[in-house]
Copies of this chain bind each other. A is one copy, B any other.
Amino acid sequence: MAPTQFPRHLKPIEPQGQELLQQERANASFDIKHLTEKIYGKPYLDTKKRILSVLANDPILSDKSHRYYTGRNIRFKKAMAAAKRMAELIKEHQWTPEDVNIADLLFDEAGPFRLHRSMFIPTIEGQATEEQKRLFLEPAQRYEIIGCYAQTELGHGSNVRGLETTATYDNNSQSFIFHSPTLTASKWWIGGLGKTATHAVVMARLITNGKDHGPHPFIVQLRDLVSHEPLPGITVGDIGPKFGFGTVDNGFLMFDQYRVPHVALLARFSQVDKATGEYIKPPNDKLSYGTMVFVRANIVMESRYVLARAATVAVRYSAIRSQGSDAANPKKIAGTDGVTKVVETPVLDYMMQQYRLFPILAQAYACHFTGEAMHRMYYENQERMANGDFSYLADLHASSSGLKSLTTTMAVAAIEECRRACGGHGYLLSSGLGQFYQDYLPKATWEGDNYLLTQQTTRYLLKTFRSVRAGKKYDRNFSSQYMVDYLAQPKAQCPVKEASDFTNPETILTIFKYRVAFMVEQAVHGLDVEKRTWNDMLVEIYRISRAHCQLIMVSNFFQGVFSADNQNKVMGVALGDVALLYALSTLEQEVADVLTSGYVTPAQALLLKQQVIATLKKVRPNAVGLVDAFDFPDYLMNSALGESQGKVYERLTEMAEREPLNHTSVVDGYEDYYRPLIHSGKQNWELDSNGVAHLRGYLDKAGLPAKL
């Protein structure tokens, strides 16, 4: 009944993964470390190193060994322990919010204090009065109260105006009465609310003197600080098992005529007069749109990590995993006997694999350059707004909505595509891609549903187009400029004559610009001339946002790598191929749009396909180097397939040994469920000389099945 172990003396078949990865790294045309520094900058890398060393040496946070093996009960308890430990380390090392972000990234597991840090504290900082800050902020920063952010309800998600929870001001008692009138009014999905939070920011319809002022934020205490029991009038709990995120106690919350003091209404902007209940309106708030741009820039930057991490696993594994043989280009190695022999071909040499994986790698770099551009534009816009210039804001806000949608949709698809590209073994949790997918997935729904968001983007583009065409006033920016160009050149034609013309960045950018402008023109025609409803146009509206954001990403990528100071360097060349791959693979995928517009001809579309294949081949020798440059430590990846040294099969077998079912050679439950069936055939057994039972007739005169 000893635990199961693989034979320790056996190695995988030749060639070894380690050697294959070394060859790949040697083949890269650029200095991988140099590219890593270009992506992150030296200070970030130093900080990451410092924090990684703290985590990797911490008795609690270094241990991820249970993650793939246990149920939610154990995982949640360990997440509580980790949350406490992380809070201690933050204090001990005086980590800044940026440091904490890096620590969270490396630890790679959302925990019960997640929303406390990312929403509860920032909401107090942003929306509380000075008095309220004194009351709540410092205890929150010391984790003496733990908060969450309770907005969505069981029946109400993206449409905030539909929220049902009410907070009715009672002038007599000078307090708010919170109430949930229906089942669908229950707060729902709130991270950290279920079992953890003592307090919540609650969005509720503020009612004063009989008038409904719509949703407003309150700080509400939920649990007794002594006992952690929910207070009377509060029903609170966990919403139950989810596809991922088992380590967060997403919760529900219902109020039954629950009284809360006047100080609870976060009153920096809207206020209620304590004595009269008179409502004081907030000033108009354009500034908060600026903040949303910053949040979305961070989401784009996170998409970059997600894409790159998924690609790291799949590209490294594909450089090692070998199968079949490419007849035109067989893989050969020198055997230990000095004789060269043909071995199976690494699947990364198959064109289909390159076609599936390299565009994902390119998307990661594309997100990097666009995330950087968004950060730059955010600061520029903040400066302008401080000077009363709001001319950047609308465009920036509209584009950032669409970019959040586009990049998170890409990232979600990429994890799953990479997982499948790992073949059967991608389905093992030890691939490192399964739980990663499950945990990242909600990003496509929260912070704005990826479909709904695009309506904001397209609404802005349609408005701009109408203004430009009518010669009315419009903001001069990237978006309006391509519309001006489009309207100036009706019936333009793509100038491509041969496949290699698709390496000209200007040519490519012009195609992407023409595409969006044409689609916008069509949609304006549909709405304004054909009088189709907004609802009937939703599919096109989604596509327009997508097209606009793809254009932005191509533009930022090209600017990042084809500018004068990059163009002639070796690394610039390598990244140039990646930029072209991003643009061309995106264009191929969306080629129906440009064919439909008539700007690109069928013959040109065929040339495009050829150029995509040619670009994949150029990227091939740099593939492992390009993923390595993202510098994900094995501690983060927790992946047998993507392990940095290429010991794929060794890790897979190690991780199988850790499976709890392997702790005994005969499984718990055997006596009850298998033995009765198997032993009912006892009369047909015969025993060998070792007392082992076989079916009668299986043994023959030669003796036994047995170890020689």
Contacts and interface: CB of A to CB of B under 8 A. Distances in A.
Given A231-B692, A241-B430, A656-B252, A352 B71 contact: no
A7 B175 contact: no
Interface string A338-364: 000000100001111001000000000
A330 B241 CA distance: 35
Nearest to A526: B610
A608 to B, nearest CB: 9
A678 interface: yes
Contact of A681 (B5, B139, B680): B139
Output the residue of A429, A445, A656 with the most chain B CB within 10 A.
A656
A420 interface: yes
B708 A177 contact: yes
Contact of A669 (B77, B186, B536, B668): B77
Given A71-B70, A649-B184, A702-B261, A538 B429 contact: no
Q: Which 3 A-B pairs have the closest CB atoms?
A: A71-B71, A144-B681, A233-B707
21 contacts: A7-B254, A71-B74, A73-B660, A80-B673, A84-B674, A154-B653, A157-B423, A183-B650, A195-B661, A226-B691, A227-B666, A228-B674, A233-B706, A238-B656, A242-B428, A261-B705, A327-B534, A350-B538, A420-B444, A426-B445, A536-B613
B649 A224 contact: no
Given A13-B164, A152-B424, A194-B662, 14 more contacts: A6-B235, A80-B672, A135-B697, A196-B674, A228-B670, A230-B665, A237-B659, A259-B704, A328-B534, A351-B537, A427-B442, A591-B595, A595-B595, A597-B602
Q: How large is the interface on A (under 10, 10 to 19, 20 to 34, 35 or more residues)?
A: 35 or more
Interface in A216-264: 220-221, 224-233, 235-245, 249, 252, 254, 256-264
A4 B186 contact: no
A92 interface: no
Contacts of A427: 242-245, 441-442, 445
Contacts of A344: 159, 162
A703 interface: yes
Contact of A256 (B74, B77, B707): B707
A139 to B, nearest CB: 5
SS class of chain A's interface: helix, strand, loop or mixed?
A: mixed
Given A143-B677, A539-B352, A159 B228 contact: no
What copy number does this chain have within its complex? 2
B649 A155 contact: yes
A707 B695 CA distance: 72
A29 B539 CA distance: 26
B695 A135 contact: yes
Contacts of A225: 678-679, 681, 685, 692-695
A198 interface: yes
A428 B653 CA distance: 32
B445 A538 contact: no
A420 B445 CA distance: 8
Contacts of A70: 71
Contacts of A480: none
